[in-house]
Amino acid sequence: MNTIFLSVMIYLFIFSQGNELVKYAGSLKGIMKGNDISSKINLNDIKNKKNLYALGAAENLEGEIQIFNGEPFNSEVVNRKLVIKKDFQKGAALLVYANVKDWNEYKIDEVITDLNLLQQKIELICKTENINSEKPFPFLIKGSAENLSWHVVSSNSQKVLQTHEEHKSSGLSGELKNEAVEIIGFYSNKHQGIITHHSTNIHLHFKNRDKTVAGHIDELKLKKNFKLYFSNIHNKK
């Protein structure tokens, strides 16, 4: 009897894990505190997944990972210059990903002045639309950034990188002004230090319109009339 019960519980655990919308490999605290920058998953293993959206950090901190609808825009620092690579030949020290075919669109007719306000807006929509925010979920943003500060991490074998500022300064950073962007983000109020940094519930990467700049978002101010998208298969409460 106990053996049957245990088998059923194991099956249910595997089934539920496999049906979560958001999946991840590695963790931010492993990278930041443990300096574990080894590969946890190879992008080749998921490259054939349709409607794939992902963000993360490359193994050995050799760049940032951004995948929009199955198309990679991975950014690296080569000779102090930013290079975008559109292939899956990369391992990830952290990868957060989901497969989303259809999205629900919300038009936001107000200025979002920072990431805290964006998080509050996302949580308000979850509340008013009866969206389950107790499970992690992906979101997209399409619009014009009045200001967007970004960085692309680069490996530094001479120093263990433990703070967000050290990660930013190890590679390249920059700022976009008044530019159209597409943003992939993930929300979770239960995975701080794992898929989001310890002080926030959101983690965002981006690409600009001409696909020449992509990376991790540090600060963001969005002009009004941008579009916010949630997966239409995300569980209702």
Domain map of the chain by residue range?
19-99, 103-231
pLDDT average, residue stretch 229-233: 86
Structure confidence at residue 172 (pLDDT): 95
Q: Mean of the per-residue pLDDT values for the chain?
A: 88
Q: List Cβ<8 Å contacts ≥24 apart for 161-166.
A: 161/32, 161/35, 161/61, 162/32, 162/33, 162/35, 163/32, 164/32, 164/197
Q: Measured between alpha carbons, how far is 36 from 33 in angstroms, rounded to an integer?
A: 8
pLDDT at 232: 77
Do 19-99 and 103-231 show the same overall fold? yes
Residue 7 banded pLDDT, cuts 50, 70, 90: very low
pLDDT of 159-181, one tens digit each? 555 555 665 567 899 999 999 99
* CATH tag, 19-99: 3.30.1330.80
| Domain 103-231 class in CATH | alpha beta
Q: How confident is the model at residue 35 (pLDDT cuts 50, 70, 90)?
A: confident
pLDDT classification of 20: cutoffs 50, 70, 90: confident
Spatial contact of 77 and 152, defined as CB atoms under 8 Å apart: yes
Return the H-helix or E-strand segment holding 164: helix 164-170
Structure confidence by residue, pLDDT tens digits, 58-88: 999 999 999 999 999 999 999 999 999 999 9
From residue 144, how far is each of 106, 111, 175, 208, 221 by CA, in Å?
15, 10, 13, 10, 9
Q: What is the pTM assigned to this prediction? A: 0.87
pLDDT in tens, 100-115: 999 999 999 999 999 9
